[in-house]
Chains A and B, each alone.
Chain A
Amino acid sequence: MKVLVTAKRVVDYNVNIRVLNDNSGVDLNNVKMSVNPFDEIAIEEAVRLREADKVEEVIVVSVGASACQEQIRTALALGADRGILVETEEDMQPLAVAKLLNAIVDKEKPELIILGKQAIDGDNSQTGQMLAALAGIAQATFASQIELKDEVATVTREIDGGLETISVKLPAVITTDLRLNEPRYASLPNIMKAKKKPIDIFTPTDLGINVEPRVKTLKVEPPAERQAGIIVETVEELVDKLRNDVKVIP
C-alpha cells in the first residue's frame, strides 16, 4: 500500500508576520520558511504506518516554487521514501492545489492520502475536502487517531464539544489535527540519506491543470493593535477601574 502526504512551504510559525506597506500581502523577504506544522503531523503518521508495516511506501508532495524542495527534503529526512514537486510560481489557491494533487493521485494510485487539516498561512482548511470530492473518495477530517485494517480506516475526529469515531473505506483522504502524534526530530544521518532519495518534478501544464487564481486578494491588513495593559497598585483601585472605567461591575 502507498501513502501520499503533503508538505506545504509556509512562513515559519515563530516569525512575526509583517504586512507590506502597500497592503498587497505579507512580507516574505528574508523570512524563515518551514513545513506547515499540520503537514509535519501527516508525514509522521505516514512514516509510523510504514514502520508498523501497514504500508510500503510514503510519497511526499509539495506544490509551489522550486524552493519547496527544502520542505520535501525535510520530509524525506523524517522518513518519506520519495518526493514529488509540482513546480509553479503562480499564487496557489486551495482548488488549484486540490486539482494538482488529484492528478498526482491519478498517477500514483495511493490507498491513503494524508494532509494537514489546514495550512497556517492561509488557514483555509479546504484542500483535503476538495481533493476527496474531486477524486470521488471518502474523507475523514481533523483526525486525532487513525487505525488501518482490511481496507478500512477507523478515524477519531476532533469535533466541537467532543470526539467522533468514523470508519471510511480506502482509498480515502485524511486530514490531521494537532493531537494525532508528536513529530520526531530530523536526525543528521537521516538528513544525509535523504539527499540520495529521488524527487520528481512536474509543472501544472505537464499535469494538464489550469492553476490560474480564481480569488483576487483586495487588501491585507494587520490585526488592530491591542492596547497595553496596566498594573494597578491596590484591590480598591482595581474595583474602581472595573466599575468606573471598564464598567463591567455595577
Chain B
Amino acid sequence: MISESVLDKIRNISGEVHTDNSTCQTHGLDWTRFYKPNPSAVVFPRTTQEVGAIVKLANEYNFGLVPSGGRTGLSGGAVAINKELVVSFDKMNKILEFDAVDCSVRVEAGVVTRTLQEYARNKGLYYPVDFASSGSSQLGGNIATNAGGIKVLRYGLTRDWISGLKVVTGRGDILELNHGLIKNATGYDLRHLYIGSEGTLGFVTEASVQLTTDPGSLSVVLLAVPKMTDVVAVLRAFREQTSLTAFEFFSDVALQYVIEHMDLSVPFSKRSDYYVLVECIEDDDAITNVFMDCTDSGWVVDGIVSQSGQQNKDFWRYRENISEAITPFTPYKNDISVRVSKVPEFLAAIQDKVMSQYPDFEIVWFGHIGDGNLHLNILKPISWDLDRFKQRCEKVSESILGVVSSFRGSISAEHGVGLLKRDQLRYTRSEIEIATMQALKKVFDPNDVMNPGKLL
C-alpha cells in the first residue's frame, strides 16, 4: 500500500500519476487473464532521471515497482496484484538518434516494435525481430523478455540486436551499458544480464538497436504435412535447398480456429492434421524441387506458394492470427523448447502425455518449430470456471514439464517466467543456478523493489 503522502512525492517527480480504477485495471495487467490487477497507482515517467527518482523513493518507502511496456507479455511479468506502483513506458516513446554508418538507432524503451520496424524501412533498412504482437509490444518489453518471434531462425533473438542499454538499477543508479559498441572485451557484459531479466534487476529506459539490410523478395509456402514427426525432415530439406527466413508449424485445430474467427479462406481442398509455413528468399525452382523431394518421401501431400506481397501477408495470417483467434477460450499456454534435433522424439513423447492426460480438453498446437520451440495451448471448456481450469492445467503441466526436463529443454522458450511460470523454474534451472540468480538480484536490487515475486 502506498500512502497518499508518498503518492504526492511521486507526483512531484513525475506529473502523471493515475489512481483511477480504469487505468489501474488496464495498466496492472498484461495479456494473461489469470490475475486480478490491484496496483496502488500507475505512473507515466518521461525521462530516465524521473525513473531513477521513483526507484529511490521505492527504496526509501519500501513499495514494489512493476515495469510495464506494451502489456502483451504472456507470463504475468507486467501484472501488479499486490498494491505495487506500475511504471508505464507509454510516454517514453521517442526515437532519439539514427546513424547510417553504425546502422543503428537509439530509442526510448516505450517505442513500439512496429514503429521501429517502419522507421527502419523508411531508412532503407530492416529490424528483423517480429511477432504477432509487434503492433503493441515495446522495445523495453522485448528486451526484458529477450523476445524471439518468427524470424529467429535467420536473425536470432532481441539480444542479438541490442548494442547498448541505459538502465536504472533497483538501487536507483543509472548505468550506461556497452555504448553501441560492436566489440568491447572489458569484462562482465551487464547489458546481457539485463536482457531477459523481466524487470527484476531494474528498468531499461533506452536502447541502441542494430538494423540490417532488407532481405529482398520473399516467398511464403504453406504445406500440408499429415504426420507431426515428419515436420523436422521437411525443415531439413528446405534448409538444405533454400535460404530460409522462417519455418513455422500449426495443427489443423489451430487452422480451423483461424479460418472461423479471422474470416480467412480455406487454403487446401483436403485437410491435413498439420501444416508448415515456410518463408524463404524467392526462388521458384528451388521451392518446387524441395517440394518434389518432400512429396516423394511422403512427408508432404499438398502445398501452395504466394504469388504476390498480398499473398505473403495472407499466408502469414494463418499462422500469426492463431493466438488472437483462441484468446476468447482463455488458453493455458505451454511455451516449451528443446534442441531442434530432438524435436521429433520430443513431440511424440509430449503428444503421448497430452493424449492420456487431457482427453477432455481441446489442444491447439503451433510453434516456431525451426527453433525447437512449441506452443501447446489448452483451451478452457466454456462450462469450467477459471480457477478450476488453471489448477487442473497446472497439475497436468507437471507431467509435461517432467518430459521437458528429461529432454533438458526449457519450460519457457520465449515468453519469460513472470508469475505464471515462476514455480516451474526448477524444471529448467538447477537449485544452485537459481540460488546464484537470487544472489545476483540482491546486487542490483537489495531491497527487492523491482518486480517483486516475479521470475524468482
Chain A residues with CB under 8 Å of chain B are 12-16, 30, 32, 34-35, 37, 40, 74, 77, 182, 185-189, 191-192, 195
Does B305 lie within 8 Å of A186, measured CB to CB?
A: yes
Nearest CB of B to A230, in Å: 14
B291 sits at the interface (CB 8 A): yes
If A16-B121, A30-B216 touch, does A186 touch B304 (CB 8 Å cutoff)?
yes
The distance in angstroms between the C-alpha atoms of A40 and B307, with both chains bound, is: 10
- 25 CB contacts below 8 A, A to B, read A12-B310, A13-B309, A13-B310, A14-B308, A14-B312, A14-B313, A15-B309, A32-B308, A32-B309, A37-B310, A77-B307, A182-B265, A185-B267, A185-B304, A185-B307, A186-B304, A187-B302, A187-B303, A187-B304, A188-B287, A188-B288, A188-B302, A188-B305, A192-B291, A195-B288
Does A13 lie within 8 Å of B121, measured CB to CB?
A: no
Q: Which of A30, A37, A187 has the most CB of B within 10 A?
A: A187
Q: Interface size of B by Cβ–Cβ distance < 8 Å?
A: 24
The distance in angstroms between the C-alpha atoms of A74 and B311, with both chains bound, is: 13
Does B304 lie within 8 Å of A188, measured CB to CB?
A: yes
The distance in angstroms between the C-alpha atoms of A187 and B302, with both chains bound, is: 7
| A191 touches which of B265, B305, B310, B312 (Cβ 8 Å) | B305
If A30-B216, A185-B267, A192-B292 touch, does A14 touch B307 (CB 8 Å cutoff)?
no
List, in ascending order, chain A residues with CB within 8 A of B267's CB.
Answer: 185
B22 sits at the interface (CB 8 A): no
List, in ascending order, chain B residues with CB within 8 A of A74's CB.
Answer: 307
Nearest CB of B to A19, in Å: 14
The distance in angstroms between the C-alpha atoms of A32 and B219, with both chains bound, is: 11
List, in ascending order, chain B residues with CB within 8 A of A185's CB.
Answer: 222, 267, 304-307, 311
| B302 touches which of A12, A37, A40, A189 (Cβ 8 Å) | A189
Chain B residues with CB under 8 Å of chain A are 121, 216-217, 221-222, 265, 267, 284, 287-288, 291-292, 302-313
Does A14 lie within 8 Å of B288, measured CB to CB?
A: no
List, in ascending order, chain A residues with CB within 8 A of B288's CB.
Answer: 188, 191-192, 195
List, in ascending order, chain B residues with CB within 8 A of A32's CB.
Answer: 217, 308-309
If A182-B265, A188-B303, A192-B292 touch, does A35 touch B308 (CB 8 Å cutoff)?
yes
List, in ascending order, chain B residues with CB within 8 A of A188's CB.
Answer: 221, 287-288, 291, 302-305
List, in ascending order, chain B residues with CB within 8 A of A37's CB.
Answer: 308, 310
The distance in angstroms between the C-alpha atoms of A191 and B221, with both chains bound, is: 12
List, in ascending order, chain B residues with CB within 8 A of A182's CB.
Answer: 265
The distance in angstroms between the C-alpha atoms of A34 and B222, with both chains bound, is: 19
List, in ascending order, chain B residues with CB within 8 A of A40's CB.
Answer: 308
If A185-B267, A187-B302, A187-B303 touch, does A12 touch B309 (CB 8 Å cutoff)?
yes
Main secondary structure of the interface of A (DSSP, over half): mixed
Given A13-B310, A185-B311, A188-B304, 19 additional A-B pairs, CB 8 A:
A12-B310, A13-B308, A14-B308, A15-B309, A30-B216, A32-B217, A32-B309, A34-B307, A34-B309, A34-B310, A185-B222, A185-B304, A185-B305, A185-B306, A186-B304, A187-B304, A187-B305, A188-B305, A191-B284
B303, closest chain A residue (CB): A188
Q: Which of B307, B310, B313 has the most CB of A within 10 A?
A: B307
List, in ascending order, chain B residues with CB within 8 A of A189's CB.
Answer: 302-303
B121, closest chain A residue (CB): A16
Nearest CB of B to A137, in Å: 30
Q: Which of A182, A188, A189, A195 has the most CB of B within 10 A?
A: A188
Q: Which of B302, B308, B309, B311 has the most CB of A within 10 A?
A: B308
The distance in angstroms between the C-alpha atoms of A92 and B308, with both chains bound, is: 22
Does A35 lie within 8 Å of B121, measured CB to CB?
A: no
Nearest CB of A to B126, in Å: 13
List, in ascending order, chain A residues with CB within 8 A of B217's CB.
Answer: 32
State the 9 A-B residue pairs at the shortest beta-carbon distance, nearest first: A14-B309, A34-B308, A188-B303, A185-B304, A12-B309, A188-B291, A32-B217, A74-B307, A187-B304
The distance in angstroms between the C-alpha atoms of A13 and B304, with both chains bound, is: 20
Nearest CB of A to B393, in Å: 37
Nearest CB of A to B112, in Å: 14
Does B302 lie within 8 Å of A35, measured CB to CB?
A: no
A10, closest chain B residue (CB): B308
Nearest CB of B to A69, in Å: 11
The distance in angstroms between the C-alpha atoms of A37 and B313, with both chains bound, is: 15
Nearest CB of A to B296, in Å: 12
List, in ascending order, chain B residues with CB within 8 A of A16's CB.
Answer: 121
List, in ascending order, chain A residues with CB within 8 A of B302's CB.
Answer: 187-189
The distance in angstroms between the C-alpha atoms of A191 and B304, with both chains bound, is: 9
Nearest CB of A to B422, in Å: 36
Does B308 lie within 8 Å of A12, measured CB to CB?
A: yes
The distance in angstroms between the C-alpha atoms of A188 and B300, with both chains bound, is: 11
B221, closest chain A residue (CB): A188
Nearest CB of B to A152, in Å: 31
List, in ascending order, chain B residues with CB within 8 A of A186's CB.
Answer: 304-305, 307
Nearest CB of B to A179, in Å: 15
List, in ascending order, chain B residues with CB within 8 A of A187's CB.
Answer: 302-305
The distance in angstroms between the C-alpha atoms of A188 and B287, with both chains bound, is: 9
The distance in angstroms between the C-alpha atoms of A196 and B278, with both chains bound, is: 25
List, in ascending order, chain B residues with CB within 8 A of A13's CB.
Answer: 308-310
If A32-B217, A182-B265 touch, does A14 touch B305 (CB 8 Å cutoff)?
no
